[in-house]
Amino acid sequence: MAKPEVVAGLDMGSGRVTCLIGTPEPEGDRLRVLGGASVPCRGINGGVVVNILETKSAVSQAVEEAEAAAGVTVSELFLGVRGTHLQSFNNKGAFNIARTDREITAEDVQSVVANAKAIPLSSDREILHVIPQSFSLDRQRGVPNPVGMEGSLLEVDVHIVTASSAHLNNVMKAVAQAGFEVRELVYGLLATGEELVTPEEKDLGSLLVDLGGQSISLGVYSEGSLRYSKEIGVGSDFITRDLAVGLRTSMATAERLKITHGIAHSSLMNGDEEIEFSRVDGRTMDKVKASIMMNFILPRVEEIFTIIAEDLQGSSYADLVSPGGAILTGGGSLMRGVAAAAEEILGLQARVGIAHPEQVAGDEKWFSPVYATAMGLLTFAQVSRWGTGVARQTSRQRPAWMRRLTGLFEDLF
Ligand SMILES: Nc1ncnc2c1ncn2[C@@H]1O[C@H](COP(=O)(O)OP(=O)(O)O)[C@@H](O)[C@H]1O
Ligand SMILES: [Mg+2]
């Protein structure tokens, strides 16, 4: 397929809408980011649309600002979604090759994946992704691509992500009302992982942690694919709220204090300066010592990573992630000392993830963790459009109200 001129990724975060527009470089597979924008959105709460009109405005603003920065216009978007309405689990499928030639075809692969996704789902939920982890042929495990091989029993392990249909529909409605078409819906974590987790880290075992404002996404990779994913309904905004309540100031002031002075680990404390800020009335000025401010921030940071550690322990995937360690991203990973806090509480090596310059190019600011998911969506779009890869495993490519999943699943590969 010919390379398109521009692609756009829209990350419906847990509390922000973030857009990046990119273009494939003429030579090679690299993508160049042309422009982007990230705006707060009061219409979404933890990734769920609570006000379509406000969400529509935020989508318009993010895309229009990104278009202005990029100097191009876009009509269709790769849309990243997140939030605790997303759930995931692993499943298996099997398919007997009854033909005499027994050479596995792409249709056989489609059939075995269809078998793996034939699961009972309540009427208010739908499948967002079916991600094949590995195939086995006549009980021989670890076959990466069985097409062209011979065998009689084809099996597959898959990771399935399901979503609330109503929540997806509301997100899609807001985007449609803003005047954009959704080319594909993607679980944000999946796109982010494509961008930030290296093939080696995916192979060895690693943990992706997207620290959003109101939601945290976890992804465990091992043996090359996603084994576990989870949305947890806490986030970095909780730190802001604690600070606002503790200092009796507004959320906006607390956010500014957090971003300018906040640290996630006590080892970064350097002196004990007095910090000036305005009270909640916006007029009365007050002062607080850095050490006092940390008394509000550090316990919440600790709590967040403890929740992550406990979830991981409860998942039975905790043992897989130590070789590659934790890769942190999302706006929350910008707080200084966050990797140190993660290392201490998760007991893993941790780094803040950064997109690989071999994959994407562009101004430094687009490499911020705030844009990681949107950048992942661009990479995802690239793979989906003129390559073969994970995007092709998405089962949902049309607005829900246009195309209901009725058990007739279309192309997987
Ligand atoms: N420099 C920073 N230091 C600390 N926290 C930050 C910084 N920048 C953004 N954040 C926090 O990141 C969170 C938003 O993360 P982001 O990934 O942009 O949102 P979303 O959850 O919508 O994907 C907010 O809680 C915000 O306060
Ligand atoms: Mg984010």
User: Which pLDDT does position 246 carry in this prediction?
Assistant: 96
Asked if 219 contacts 208 with a C-beta cutoff of 8 angstroms, the reply is yes
What pLDDT is recorded for position 28? 82
Closest CA to 57 of 68, 41, 69, 74: 41
Residue among 12, 19, 186, 236 whose CB has most ligand 1 atoms within 8 A, to mutate: 236
Q: Which residue among 259, 296, 352 is best mutated to probe the pocket of ligand 1, counting the most ligand atoms within 8 A of its Cβ?
A: 259
- The closest-lying atom of ligand 1 relative to the alpha carbon of residue 47 is 22
Report pLDDT for 271.
Answer: 87
User: What is the pLDDT, as a whole number, of residue 1?
Assistant: 53
Helices 372-386 and 188-196: crossing angle, nearest 10°?
90
The third-level CATH classification (topology) of the domain covering 87-161 is: Dna Ligase; domain 1 (3.30.1490)
d(CA 308, CA 330): 15
pLDDT of 112 reads 96
Domain ranges of the chain: 87-161, 237-296
Q: How far is the CA of 345 from the centre of ligand 2 (A)?
A: 22
Q: Separation of 371 CA from ligand 2 center, angstroms?
A: 7
Tell me which residue has its CA closest to atom 23 in ligand 1: 13
The strand ranges marked E within 225-322 are: 225-232, 274-278, 285-289
What kind of fold does domain 237-296 have according to CATH? Actin; Chain A, domain 4 (3.90.640)
Structure tokens at 30: 């690299």
CA of 36 to the centre of ligand 2 (A): 14
Atom of ligand 1 nearest to the CA of 330: 17
pLDDT computed for residue 4 by the predictor: 61
Which atom of ligand 1 is closest in space to residue 17's alpha carbon? 22
146-179 as b/e: b if 16+ CB within 10 A: beeeebeebbbbbbbbbbbbebbbbbbbbbbebe
Res 385: pLDDT: 55
> Which residues of the chain fall below pLDDT 50?
386-413
Cβ of residue 332 lying under 6 Å from some atom of ligand 1: yes
**Rounded CA gap, 172 and 363, in Å?**
30
Q: Which atom of ligand 1 is nearest to the CA of 212?
A: 21
16 lines ligand 1 (CB under 6 A): yes
